[in-house]
């Protein structure tokens, strides 16, 4: 496994506040292997306390503070897309991260975002090639790269507000926050729960590899089943 694996390991270490031994990481083949390794590295004894509930209460308090919604309006099944309209979502996301010091699940680009940016850049370079003599048009390579970066930045700024399927409800969002901040929340209540560790690992893998969370099973191979490079 290559850089995808390195990024996933670093993300997992940060989320759980642990260090995964290199020798053990090299033996990880499936998502279940990663879950087992994380559980072995966690120092606290397993308990039955529900960190998901702790995360929900923290998230609910946070959402009340930034939206002004009544406490009774924010339930696990509440639609986060309605509670945080797309036109405000990115700004509110940053506000929640600053006020809580939590790492929040990443907002995504729409699926057409990257292809549209590449198509726009290709169109501009093509126009330049026809407008300028061929040898000179080679000078458009660097400006073209700059245009691509700017196009991606603009698309992300304007449209990078998509919620992944698993965090489109407040309950799902709470699980996503738990996945990103498992070590912090577990330290606060001095507990780890093996089942909740697995749910957090699943969400981290799904987000990092950009795959449907349903594909992340304990038997799923990172390379063969989840497309890790």
What is the average pLDDT value for the chain, to the nearest integer?
A: 85
Mean pLDDT of 164-187: 92
Weakest-pLDDT range from 110-119, 135-144, 191-200 = 135-144
Q: Which residue has the higher pLDDT, 146 or 95?
A: 95
Residue whose pair of structure tokens reads 């000078």 in the numeric block: 139
Are 47 and 63 a contacting pair, CB within 8 Å?
no
Q: Which two three-digit tokens encode residue 139? A: 């000078």
Q: Which residue from 6, 17, 10 is spatially nearest to 178, judged by alpha carbons? A: 17
Residues with Cβ < 8 Å from 24, sequence gap 6 or more?
Answer: 37, 40
* Single pTM value for the model: 0.74
- Picking from 18-32, 123-137, 144-158, which range would have the lowest pLDDT averaged per residue? 123-137
Token pair belonging to 185: 């929340």
Residue 136 confidence (pLDDT): 54
Summarize pLDDT for 176-187 with one digit per residue, the tens.
999 999 988 888
Q: Once rounded to an integer, what is the mean pLDDT over residues 10-32?
A: 92
Contact 160, 93 (CB under 8 A): no
CA angle 117, 79, 105 (to 5 degrees): 50
Comparing CA positions, the residue from 157, 159, 145, 62 lying closest to residue 102 is 62
For residues 208-218, average pLDDT: 94
pLDDT on residue 187: 80
* CB distance 141 to 192 below 8 Å: no
The alpha carbon of residue 8 and the mean position of all alpha carbons in its chain are separated, in whole angstroms, by 11
pLDDT at 50: 81
Confidence of residue 155 (pLDDT cuts 50, 70, 90): low
């Amino acid at each position: 496994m290559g850089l995808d694996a390195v990024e996933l390991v670093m993300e997992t270490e940060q989320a759980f506040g642990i260090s995964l031994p290199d020798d053990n990481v090299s033996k990880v083949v499936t998502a279940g292997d990663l879950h087992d390794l994380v559980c072995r590295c966690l120092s606290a004894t397993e308990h039955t306390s529900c960190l998901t509930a702790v995360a929900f209460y923290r998230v609910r308090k946070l959402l009340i503070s930034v939206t002004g919604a009544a406490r009774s309006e924010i339930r696990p099944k509440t639609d986060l897309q309605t509670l945080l309209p797309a036109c405000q979502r990115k700004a509110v996301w940053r506000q929640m991260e600053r006020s809580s010091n939590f790492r929040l699940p990443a907002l995504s680009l729409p699926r057409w975002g990257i292809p549209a940016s590449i198509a726009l850049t290709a169109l501009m370079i093509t126009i330049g090639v026809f407008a300028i003599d061929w040898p000179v048009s080679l000078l458009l390579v660097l400006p073209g790269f700059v245009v691509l970066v700017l196009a991606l930045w603009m698309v992300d700024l304007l449209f990078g507000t998509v919620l992944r399927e698993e965090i489109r409800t407040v309950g799902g969002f709470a699980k996503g926050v738990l996945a990103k901040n498992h070590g912090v929340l577990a330290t606060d209540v001095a507990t780890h729960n093996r089942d909740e560790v697995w749910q957090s690992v699943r969400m981290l893998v799904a987000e990092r590899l950009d795959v449907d969370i349903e594909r992340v099973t304990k038997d799923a191979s990172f390379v063969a089943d989840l497309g890790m490079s």
